[in-house]
Chain A
Amino acid sequence: MSRREAPTGELPYWIFRDYIKCTGCRTCEIACSLHHEGWMWPEASRIRVFMLFPGVEVPHLCSQCDDYPCVKSCPVEALSVDERTSAVIVDREKCISCGACIKACPGQVPFLHPGDNKATICDLCNGDPECVKLCQEAGYGCLTLVRERMSTNRKLYAIKPEDVSKDLAINLYGEKGKEVL
């Protein structure tokens, strides 16, 4: 798999995140889990806000790498790419909960669902992500939906939450950021 656009010529979707603007309200998690689980379930939300130190809020979700290492790593082909949106789609019937996708992801984004123990990854709500709507309605603008050609840029968000947090802590708290994390 490589850089591509949808066969229809439509540009694929991507969720921008502006970490500094995350307020830690976690209504994105509520919106996501209401949509996917039918009820409020923060740890089943495909977007999870890490707060390893107060103020250092890191919304963590799939960024659809252009080379999809998670999809490649799956030994049972449970993961596929939605041609239109670019989202990674998990076939929960096929998934054997081996965790290969978690290890393959440079950002350690996928996780095993706390309910059925299957790999869980953002599906971009088929192009209309609930988390973004909430964040925009609230006027925070931490999450923004864009449509752009696939590129290696996408990988810039595929970073472990600990590493994002360390950088963000310094951005927020200067030298002190090194002490707090």
Chain B
Amino acid sequence: MPRGYAGKYLDVDLTRNKVKDTTFDEKILKTYLGGRGLATKILWDRLGKRWQKVDPLGPENIFTALTGPLTAIHTGARTCISGKSPLSNGVIGSTLSGEFASEIKCAGYDGVIVTGKASSPVYILVTDSGGEIRDASKVWGKNGEETIKAINSEAREELKKRMPGVGAWREPGLIYAGPAGENRVRNAAVMQKIAHAAGYGGYGAVMGSKNLKAIAAKGRGPLPEVADPETVKRLWAAVHKASIKRGSMRRWGTGFGGYSTGANSSSEPVRNWQEEWHDERQFGGPRFETRYWIKRYWSDFNCTTSCMKISYIREGPYKGDITDCPDYELQAYCGANFGIFDPGENIHLSAVIDNLGFSGINSANTMAFAAELYQRGILTKAELGFDLKWGDADAFTKLAYLIANREGIGDVLAEGTYRAALKISEMKDVDVTQYAVHVKGVEIGAHGIRSGRDYASVISYALSPQAGDHTSTVSDGYREMAGAVFSDSAVFCNFSVDRSLQWDFLKAVTGWDITNESWSTWNGPIIFQTQRALLLLGGPDIFWSPKDDDNPPRFYEPLPTGPYKGKAADRKQLEEMKLNYYKSVGWDENGVPTSDTLKKLGLGDVDRALNKLRK
């Protein structure tokens, strides 16, 4: 087994109630590494031939929770969740922080691959002695906080029983689905530690569809051996040194953007993106910190950036709510986007969303979409059961529960923004897809493109295989391969600083000669092109066409307020950049990867599968 890897993966068939250990050839690992890359390979190999028929919420879909060679050894331990996405019908690599990553590697596993559907609710426990499927019927229906309490306690008792004499047992690392995931809400997240989410992709719903409540891991072994320990130790210290020196990011996490993104760059979703600028100048880090933070620096395994903080509400109607900073994305999505600019209300909604197990970005996008329909008189109080006014935190709380439980109109909204828009358009005989802010079913992260002042451009989401995912956008050619495609596959935090050290780090851990150049022309493109192919194949409920390589209609409406008033995405610019981009990554004029491109990457089978899309 190559260095940096624990050596095996747990392969779980929930239908047959069976687990076994699986390994992959070194050649495969050297190409795909782990995480997003390896998940794409597994999904292609096991489901590629019948991809268009695979229901993401059916038993046939595969759910993966994978680490990579750098996981837990590099700063910022993360796990990459994947599968066929119930939002995009493609493959999205969605990572989340927390000790599940270090625990599973210490237990001797690099990840878990789950197929089938259990006959009743279960969770998977991974320890040094193997994997097992355990009853979770008592935990089903529980929210995030209750789930953590119940499984931590049950797993610790069990481990203590098995090895009573070794001393105090710590809790396992735990990833889980909340009620939203159980009820197959398409933008439900895979959660960890109350407020950490693998949000993009909707993989909480995939867990729910499999009757899989959680995966817990507890390992007593060391992290895997590495090729060059002395160099790893030196690089490890260097990355920490850089983390410790960080300024606002360390002090307020990404939350410092709650102020600046809305104010300076005019690229924050406000009232379902009807605006991207706000004149609220107090909605930022310090106001959260002073009143609500009970931990100023909160970290996950092997991270000293500590961009997480814990917010807790001590008094008033939302007493008892726990969440993180909230980070920029949820300040935007559960704040400005609901017309809410009060830190307490924002923390409350973020806590509700977390506890129900939603993706805070994606589901809050759907909720604001519903609020705009209410604003326009398309959805009524009679349908909702209450008034859904901008800025009304209690109304948005009620809506979150409606969706999580799929009650009434919540059942429609639980399909995610785009699918809900299609359904409501049909129900109401009016086109509401113009208010749906998504790309290929994936609701867009809180970084708009209209002002031109943020990092995202007119093609960033439109052409990305991860669609609306703001953590993995595109710009030109294979430039992004060294970014998220790499960190999601080697699996470490995208926010780790000093990314210039990542190649040295990979080499010191694995011993492999993978350079920026080789990754960006070989490994990265193999993963990226396969993701693009699976996204285009899509199905079974929705198939994307070249015209879906586009931005939501809203982004072409001029910004109505702020310093960039009047600015909008330019369709001509899109068409121009699109064709240039297609060319730069070897796609034909319809955006389908060409035979030549795929064959050069050794993806002949992917090429054959795409023939049906070529005219």
Contacts and interface: CB of A to CB of B under 8 A. Distances in A.
Interface in B306-346: 306, 310, 312, 314, 320, 322
A180 B149 contact: yes
Given A25-B304, A43-B219, A114-B220, A34 B233 contact: yes
A152 B339 CA distance: 56
B75 to A, nearest CB: 9
Max chain B Cβ within 10 angstroms of own Cβ: one of A21, A23, A160: A23
A50 B99 CA distance: 11
A171 to B, nearest CB: 9
B171 A50 contact: yes
A110 B167 contact: yes
B148 A42 contact: no
B494 interface: no
B148 A30 contact: no
Closest 10 CB pairs of A and B: A111-B167, A25-B299, A114-B220, A41-B222, A23-B299, A54-B193, A40-B223, A112-B166, A23-B297, A43-B220
Interface of B: 72-73, 99, 102, 106, 145, 148-149, 152, 165-168, 170-171, 193-195, 219-223, 225, 229, 233, 236, 240, 244, 294-295, 297-304, 306, 310, 312, 314, 320, 322
A27 B302 contact: yes
A52 B152 contact: yes
A172 B294 contact: yes
B73 A51 contact: no
28 contacts: A25-B300, A25-B301, A25-B304, A26-B301, A26-B302, A30-B302, A34-B233, A39-B222, A39-B229, A43-B219, A48-B170, A50-B168, A51-B99, A55-B298, A99-B167, A108-B167, A110-B167, A111-B167, A111-B168, A112-B165, A112-B167, A114-B166, A138-B306, A140-B297, A160-B168, A173-B322, A174-B320, A180-B145
Contacts of A21: 297
A93 B166 CA distance: 18
A129 interface: no
B295 A23 contact: yes
Contacts of B102: 26, 42
Nearest to B301: A26
Contact of B306 (A23, A43, A112, A114): A23
Nearest to B171: A52
Classify chain A: how many residues form its interface, as a range: 35 or more
A150 B78 CA distance: 42
A71 B380 CA distance: 73
Interface in A96-115: 99, 102, 108-112, 114-115
A73 B150 CA distance: 35
A7 interface: no
A38 interface: yes
A130 B522 CA distance: 41
